[in-house]
Amino acid sequence: YPAFNVNLVRNDFPILAEQVNGKPLIWLDNAATTQKPKQVIERLNYFYEHENSNIHRAAHELAARSTDAYEGARQKVQRFINARSPNEIVFVRGTTEAINLVASSWGDEFLQQGDEIILTHLEHHANIVPWQLLAQKKGLKIRVIPVDDDGQILLDEYARLLNPRTKLVSFTLVSNALGTITPAKQIVDMAHAAGAKVLADGAQSVSHIRTDVQDLDADWFVFSGHKVFGPTGIGVLYGKEDLLNSTQPYQGGGNMIQDVTFEHTQFHKAPARFEAGTGNIADAVGLGAAIDYVQKIGIDHIYQYEHYLLEYASQKLARIPGLRPIGTARDKTSVLSFVLDGFTTGQVGEALSREGIAVRSGHHCAQPILRRFGVEATVRPSLAFYNTCAEIDTLVYAIEKLKSSGRG
């Protein structure tokens, strides 16, 4: 493939040389989490060997180093998603925490009984449950945009759901269960036209599709570092600067204050406003290294290569008799959900694991969308740029072998 040399890239990922069950590892569980290049692993080591200190508060050399590394990572995130200012980048634990942060701070402060929140049928539980908790507490109504039989959302239905009571639209850019790429710009523009705020869940999009938060114009954009070749336990809440600064903090503590008395606290502006306590400094720095790595390859090269791989895999899988793909939208990326006649998804997952192939089988924390297709679980191979056509061939071969053995 012309854009980049996949074999060279694979050499950057030590774990891809791993053997499991006596077979070379084939990592096709990228939607759950991605593997880490040595550039990220080495950056974490370097931090702990040469820079480790708490940030901001102390005035010594290592505090300066760790602060520079941490704030440098924030700038890398800013440029990666094309935010206007590093002040719009809040480090959090991951997508889940970012959504809970918005629900608990902005949602609790600004939403009132009778207000409505629109979600899509594609959402991960992380973009359902926080809103449900808030809705129960405040008497809000949640409305859901339905999808068609291919797993794409229905914009006409969305238009009908929007009304003057709609205060928030929260949607995923890419479905983790089906791989559908949603029509994000239209969703955002229609929400804004109705006077609602918009949160875009980028957990499944950041590693596959170019992110430009200014172009998208969502009020918040959230993602997890571990899904974009960075460490676990670090993620990002992007929010428009004015909005962040006009929202009450999520948690109180050190780091986020300008002045405290027993009567009153003056808070910092964003991002410190939302970063109470000692954060995950090292892993933020690791995320910065992951972003450098992705940008070196080029997100557009990644997109093109993965598109080619997805087409290749979709066609091969579709030829297996008894295999039913779930999620066949024209716009999709990286996810190949399916069920196989005569076998439970657990049986397929175990059979593949015996061949060294890691896929997720289960409900993928997205039960509503699977039920929309009449299933409780699917087998879900999911791709990254280090996967190859040869790995897809092995996957197809392993499924055929399972079928001919007739046993799970």
What is the bridge-based pairing of β-strands 141-145 and 116-120? parallel
Q: Which of 6, 320, 358, 365 is catalytic?
A: 365
Please identify which residue in the block is written with the tokens 């949607």: 171
Give the three-class secondary structure for 375.
coil
User: Site size for ligand PMP, by CB under 6 A?
Assistant: 13
Output b/e per residue, 163-197; b: 16+ Cβ within 10 A.
eebbbbbbbbbbbbbbbbbbbbeebbebbeebebb
* DSSP symbols for 278-346: S--HHHHHHHHHHHHHHHHH-HHHHHHHHHHHHHHHHHHHHTSTTEEEE---SSB-SB-EEEETTS-HH
**Residue with smaller CB distance to ligand PMP, 191 or 199:** 199
**Residue with smaller CB distance to ligand PMP, 106 or 343:** 106
**Residue with smaller CB distance to ligand PMP, 126 or 161:** 126
- Asked if residue 363 binds ligand PMP (CB under 6 A), the reply is no
Question: 147-186 mask for ligand PMP (x: CB under 6 A)?
Answer: -------------------------x---x----------
Within positions 110 to 129, which residues make up the interface with ligand PMP, using CB under 6 A? 124, 126-127
Give the three-class secondary structure for 88.
helix
- Asked if residue 280 binds ligand PMP (CB under 6 A), the reply is no
- Asked if residue 203 binds ligand PMP (CB under 6 A), the reply is yes
Q: For the beta carbon of residue 352, count every other beta carbon within 10 angstroms.
A: 23
**Residue with smaller CB distance to ligand PMP, 231 or 271:** 231
What is the bridge-based pairing of β-strands 220-224 and 197-201? parallel
Token representation of residue 298: 């080029």
Residue 93 CB, shortest distance to ligand PMP, in Å, is 7
**Residue with smaller CB distance to ligand PMP, 240 or 360:** 360
Which residues have a catalytic role annotated?
365
The footprint of ligand PMP (CB under 6 A) covers: 94-96, 124, 126-127, 172, 176, 201, 203-204, 224, 365
